[in-house]
Chains A and B, each alone.
Chain A
């Protein structure tokens, strides 16, 4: 049986069509970058924990404690920073990382209970189900996370970190220091790109460009570098500098041939109708 026509097309009422038409407009939201970071952190953490070092994983951070020696590398530190950033935004990435970890280490009945995500809340029930191999020093991290606000934080990016510092079992203080640096770096990246996006939305491409220049200076290998590049191209187009926009686009696409942003960049450069 065929679906009916959509009401937007078939309605005879102006008002209904106007209401429904507005429903489809992209509602501007500032959460996009944070969502990408948090989701990326989940993917990276899960890729690392499936390496069999998962036994002691409570959060991505605890995994560092378990096999710190083999896992310390700049990439891992960045991941820890990203996972923490996700937590800043509402304990989400931490919780999801935890759920993922449980899926590996708990018996099927436990993981079934732990798996459905509970928005904003961390289930205290899941804590006791950790296997005995759990390094005890990782556990104190749990109550601290659970005391994080259950209600979602406001979207202000500069919200203070609610995540406790990394609980490292082995004495590797340099990891701790690098972790804090990575965390605030990730937070800073989101704030910076948010500002650039706002400037663009306010039709101030020059300001966006100077923010993006600052971003490139502060974060030469930033996690959000692709997003910054796309924003820069957009800003250059908005500022009327097509040659520079085209150069930037070409160099981006050369470096990232299979980027999901390829189509978007091409449409940014398309000649105005």
Chain B
């Protein structure tokens, strides 16, 4: 089964490049289009892949795969829809990669001890690197389905219809997952904030 069948609103029906003598023109325009896609969206693909749980050491390779898939299916990607295509592919590749990784003992992209540790203070969070690392740990503690919708909506700012198409679920499912994702995100943040802020409080929240 391929999740591709669900990704209809973003993709034209697959169309094979017509046979004929090799013509440099399509290669050059495809290369140019790819340049634009890498230039504009590599960062988003890379960080989405990271936030969806791929370890740092693997993220570049996974991101590269995403762009290779895009290169292969360039004819199907509608102009203006490159970002949705790339992020949807990123989600799919990251999910498969995680599934494969779970069959081998591995870390889930984040140090297990960090998952319950106190969050940095707001002052410390002003440091972007630190804040991103902290965000990574919060996301790692979320359930995958909720995390996916959360990352694509809150961080990558896809619209609900784009997310629905990207992960192959009905629009209503996106809405309900987003609600639950927000609740989960906020409760994780609250819990870990309370751990740091109030060592004197008995029993915590």
From A227, which residue of chain B is reached at the shortest CB distance? B35
Taking CB atoms and an 8 Å cut-off, the chain A residues in 10-42 that contact chain B are: 13-16, 18-27, 29-32, 34-36, 38-40, 42
Comparing B25-33, B109-117, B140-148, the segment that makes contact with chain A is B25-33
Assess whether B132 is in contact with A112, with CB atoms less than 8 Å apart: no
Q: Is B42 an interface residue (CB 8 A)?
A: yes
Q: Is B202 an interface residue (CB 8 A)?
A: no
Assess whether A44 is in contact with B27, with CB atoms less than 8 Å apart: yes
Q: Is A60 an interface residue (CB 8 A)?
A: no
From A100, which residue of chain B is reached at the shortest CB distance? B72
Contact with B along A232-243 (1 / 0, CB 8 A): 000000000000
Q: Is A247 an interface residue (CB 8 A)?
A: no
With beta carbons under 8 angstroms apart, the residue of A13, A39, A152 that contacts B68 is A39
Q: How large is the interface on B (under 10, 10 to 19, 20 to 34, 35 or more residues)?
A: 35 or more
- Whole-angstrom distance from the CB of A67 to the nearest CB of chain B? 11
Contacts A119-B96, A119-B97 given: A32-B38 contact, CB under 8 Å?
A: yes
- Whole-angstrom distance from the CB of B74 to the nearest CB of chain A? 7
Contacts A1-B175, A29-B46, A92-B68 given: A23-B59 contact, CB under 8 Å?
A: no
Taking CB atoms and an 8 Å cut-off, the chain B residues in 49-68 that contact chain A are: 50-51, 57-68
From A34, which residue of chain B is reached at the shortest CB distance? B64
Distance in angstroms between the alpha carbons of A90 and B62 in the assembled complex = 9
Assess whether A47 is in contact with B27, with CB atoms less than 8 Å apart: yes
Contacts A96-B68, A260-B36 given: A119-B62 contact, CB under 8 Å?
A: yes
Q: What residues on B are CB-neighbors of A39 within 8 Å?
A: 34, 38, 64, 67-68, 70-71
Assess whether A260 is in contact with B58, with CB atoms less than 8 Å apart: no
Q: Is A174 an interface residue (CB 8 A)?
A: no
Contact with A along B153-184 (1 / 0, CB 8 A): 11101011000000000000001001000100
- Whole-angstrom distance from the CB of B191 to the nearest CB of chain A? 12
- Whole-angstrom distance from the CB of B124 to the nearest CB of chain A? 9
Distance in angstroms between the alpha carbons of A259 and B35 in the assembled complex = 9
Assess whether A15 is in contact with B189, with CB atoms less than 8 Å apart: yes
Question: Which residues of chain B have a CB within 8 Å of any CB of chain A?
Answer: 2, 4, 16-23, 26-27, 30-36, 38-40, 42-43, 46-47, 50-51, 57-72, 74, 93, 96-97, 100, 119, 122, 125-126, 128-132, 134-135, 138, 151, 153-155, 157, 159-160, 175, 178, 182, 185-186, 189, 193
Question: Which residues of chain A have a CB within 8 Å of any CB of chain B?
Answer: 1, 3-4, 6-8, 13-16, 18-27, 29-32, 34-36, 38-40, 42-44, 46-48, 50-52, 86, 89-90, 92-93, 96, 99-100, 112, 115-121, 151-155, 226, 258-261, 264
